[in-house]
Amino acid sequence: MSDKPLTDFQLGNRCLVQKDYVKAVELFLRAAQTRPEERATAYVQVAECFLRSNTLAQPTTVAPGITLISAGDRRSAEYYYRLALQADPDHTSALAGLARVLPDQADERLFLLERAASLSPSYMILLDLGGFHRTHRKDFPLAYDMYRRAQEQNPRDETAYRRLNDICRRLGRADEAEVWSARWTQVKTTKRRVDGSGP
C-alpha cells in the first residue's frame, strides 16, 4: 500500500517548521491557487512566513534582557492577511493576525479584534482586546471584562491575573486587586505540585 503524497499545504507547513520560508511561501501560494477551500488558511500561513523571516545579520538589543533576532516583514504579512480575509471574511486567524500587524492604536485593529472575539473568543484575542481598551481607550471596565473572560478561559496562565490586578487598582478597587494576586499565588502553587517542580 503506497502512502498518499503530501499536499502543497502540508509540504508548506513542513518547510515553515524547518524555517525554509522561501520554499514555504511558494508551496502555500500554490495551495491557495489550486485548492480554493484552503485559500484563506494558505494566505495566513504565507503571512506567518513573512513575520518569521528577515533574520537580522546582527542581533539587536531592544530592551534590558530582550534581543531582537528577526524583524519580520509586517507589510507583506498585512497584504496576505487581507487576501485571506477576502477569501474568508470570518477567518479568525486572519482577523487576529491582521490586528497583530496593524498599529496598536488603529481603529481597524479594534474592529478586527472584536470581530475575532465574536467568532472565537480565544484567550489571546481576549487579552489583546483587553489591552486595546486599557491602553488606547482607557475604558477600564471593558478591559476588566475582557481580562475576566480570558482568566476564566485559561485560569492557569499568569497574564490575565496580573492585568486584572492592574485594572482593579486603576478602578480604585485595591482589595479586589489583592484578591487577584492571591488567586494567582494559589494557582501557581497548585501548578508546581502538579508538574512536580514544587516542594
Q: Is 65 left (phi over 0), alpha (psi -120 to 50) or beta?
A: left
- Does residue 198 carry a pLDDT above 80? no
Question: pLDDT band for position 69 (50/70/90)?
Answer: very low
Give residue 180's pLDDT. Answer: 97
Q: Which residues make beta-bridge pairs with 60?
A: 68
Closest among 91, 147, 94 to 124, alpha carbons compared: 147
C-alpha cell at 190: 497548585
Sorted by where each starts, the structural domains of the chain and their CATH numbers stand as 9-55+72-120 (1.25.40.10), 122-199 (1.25.40.10)
Task: Report DSSP letters for 78-129, one per residue.
Answer: HHHHHHHHHH-TT-HHHHHHHHHHS-TT-HHHHHHHHHHHHH---HHHHHHH
Span 157-172, average pLDDT: 96
Of 196 and 139, more confident: 139
- Least reliable range by pLDDT among 38-47, 52-61, 128-137, 138-147: 52-61
Res. 64: pLDDT tops 70: no
Amino acid 195: pLDDT: 53
Which pLDDT band holds residue 20 (cuts at 50, 70, 90)?
Answer: very high
Task: Tell me the pLDDT of the chain averaged across its residues.
Answer: 88
pTM comes to 0.81
What value does the mean pLDDT take over residues 37-44? Answer: 97
Give the pLDDT score at 72: 74
65/128: higher pLDDT: 128
- Residues 104-125 have a mean pLDDT of 94
Q: Is the dihedral of CA 169, 175, 178, 184 positive or negative?
A: negative
